[in-house]
Structure 1
Amino acid sequence: MPQTHPTDTRPTRAPVGLFLHPTHTYRPTDSAGRALPDWYGVHPDHVAHLIARYTRAGDTVLETDGHPTVAAAAEHLHRYPGIAVTDGEHPPVWPETLDGQSAVTIRHDAGLVLATLPRLDIDTRDVHDLSRALHSWQELLRPGGFLVVLLAAGLGNGAPAPRSTVIAAARTAGLLYHQHIPALLVRLPEVEPRTDPRPADRPPLIGGRHVRAHRDLVVFASITPEATDA
């Protein structure tokens, strides 16, 4: 087994979590009784788990696209949902609550920002441009708040940025890489494929490439003097 020398100065690796695709058919509903959709492939139960894990009661939760599932989960958990809005450039970015509350009262005070990449106004091939976008989301956080970025999902149509590029850009923006959470889009097979005597199904292909079976969620923590002292 690989050993770590006591004088090893390499940075500590962030822990890895995992969201399994639910095996049940139950879906949470909104206040009107309508079933909530996935947040770009992430089940509503997992969205609620993220909000419960990374915020506390009374926190503001912002999401870049105003997704109804995020808003419903935040309200159910006694958080205040809002939208992180841009005007086509990264700064300024400001929160705008769903219920019309003044944006000024919650600026720089969100406990959690949920964002998706790629986006139409961000060049994910440019680390500097990506870093500016991440920094603009960081500015919405309260001391000790968290930014969760969902990769290969959202409103953009550009090439998805590699996870390592997003992590490097986040560090440049002053964020601490906190956790990596793959979220499965399909159920795991009931039998380990290499031990199943039945012929294995051919995996679905699009354009000669395997269909993506998971989304990557990367979690970053806001690092500020106030958060360090706490």
Structure 2
Amino acid sequence: MPQTHPTDTRPTRAPVGLLLHPAHTHRPTDPAGRVLPDWYGIHPDHVAHLIARYTRDGDTVLDTDAHPSVAAAAEYLHRHPGLTVIHRERLYGRPEPLDEHPAAAARPGAGLVLATLPRLDVDSRDPHAVSQALGAWQALLRPGGFLAVLLTAGPGTAAIGHRSTVIAAARTAGLLYHQHIPALLVPLPETDPRTEARPAARPPLIAGRHRRAHRDLLVFATITPEAADV
């Protein structure tokens, strides 16, 4: 059985989670009764699970895109929803005005920042540009906070697959690669196609490409002892 050499300097692989496509048809609603949309293909229930998993009661949750499902989940879980804003080329976190929570007052900074790549102002193929963006988001976190980056497809770009570039850029920015969570966009088949007697049908193509079946969610932690407690 292979053994790891004591002087092996390769980075430790992050644990892998998995968000399955929900089998139910229930759609949560906001306080006004409006149905909440998916967060770039991820069900609002999974968004709420991520916020509950990576934050504490009273934490601030910042979102780069001001998505309604993120705000609704944060409020439901008694977190402070907010968004990151750019003013004069500097990045700031702006929480929504909610009743002050005593636990949050003792923890300045966000417990979780949710971001998506690529972005119009960030070239996801450029490690330096990605590292700068990740470093700016990191500055908004409290000690022990987390940054969750969802790799999507953006205007004028192909489906992003530069996971290793983002991970390397995060290390350069001083973040710890905490977890990789593939999020399925389609339901799993009821049976393994390889067990069928007939040949498996070819998946449909969109503009000559296979339909995207998942998105990669990368979670990074601030390098503090507190990060290991979550």
- When normalised by structure 2's length, the TM-score is 0.88
Alpha-carbon distance, 1:85 to partner: 1.4
Q: Where in structure 2 are there 5+ consecutive unaligned residues? A: 100-104
Return closer, same or farther for 1:228/1:76 CA change in 2, 3 Å cut-off: closer
2:93 aligns to what? 95
2:102 aligns to what? none
Distance in 1 (alpha carbons) for counterparts of 2:46 and 2:131: 27
- The correspondence of residues 29-178 of structure 1 with structure 2, limited to 5 A, is 29-87=29-87, 89=89, 92-99=90-97, 109-153=109-153, 156-159=155-158, 160=160, 162-178=162-178
Return closer, same or farther for 1:175/1:156 CA change in 2, 3 Å cut-off: farther
Distance in 2 (alpha carbons) for counterparts of 1:94 and 1:108: 13
Q: Deviations over 1:102-132 (max 9, x none)?
A: xxx9996000000001101111121101100
Alpha-carbon distance, 1:28 to partner: 1.0
- When normalised by structure 1's length, the TM-score is 0.88
Alpha-carbon distance, 1:5 to partner: 2.9
Task: Give yes or no for contact 1:52–1:77 (8 Å, CA) kept in 2.
Answer: yes
Alpha-carbon distance, 1:4 to partner: 2.5
Distance in 1 (alpha carbons) for counterparts of 2:126 and 2:69: 30
- The correspondence of residues 212-227 of structure 1 with structure 2, limited to 5 A, is 212-224=212-224, 227=226
Count of residue pairs brought into register by the alignment: 222
1:181 aligns to what? 181
Task: Give yes or no for contact 1:95–1:107 (8 Å, CA) kept in 2.
Answer: no
1:205 aligns to what? 205
Distance in 2 (alpha carbons) for counterparts of 1:131 and 1:118: 13
2:2 aligns to what? 3
Alpha-carbon distance, 1:170 to partner: 0.3
Alpha-carbon distance, 1:6 to partner: 5.0
Distance in 2 (alpha carbons) for counterparts of 1:148 and 1:109: 15
Distance in 1 (alpha carbons) for counterparts of 2:198 and 2:25: 27
Q: Where in structure 1 are there 5+ consecutive unaligned residues? A: none
SS of residue in 1 equivalent to 2:15: coil
Structure 1 counterpart of 2:205, one-letter code = L
Q: Deviations over 1:125-177 (max 9, x none)?
A: 21101100000000000000000000024x55435251000000000000000
SS of residue in 2 equivalent to 1:171: helix
SS of residue in 2 equivalent to 1:15: coil
Distance in 2 (alpha carbons) for counterparts of 1:145 and 1:7: 30
Alpha-carbon distance, 1:198 to partner: 3.9
Task: Give yes or no for contact 1:30–1:72 (8 Å, CA) kept in 2.
Answer: yes
Alpha-carbon distance, 1:207 to partner: 2.6
Return closer, same or farther for 1:87/1:208 CA change in 2, 3 Å cut-off: farther
Structure 1 counterpart of 2:70, one-letter code = V
Task: Give yes or no for contact 1:117–1:149 (8 Å, CA) kept in 2.
Answer: yes
Structure 2 counterpart of 1:97, one-letter code = P
Distance in 1 (alpha carbons) for counterparts of 2:138 and 2:198: 50
Distance in 1 (alpha carbons) for counterparts of 2:92 and 2:12: 33
Superposition RMSD on alpha carbons, in Å?
Answer: 2.4
Distance in 2 (alpha carbons) for counterparts of 1:95 and 1:120: 19
1:14 aligns to what? 14
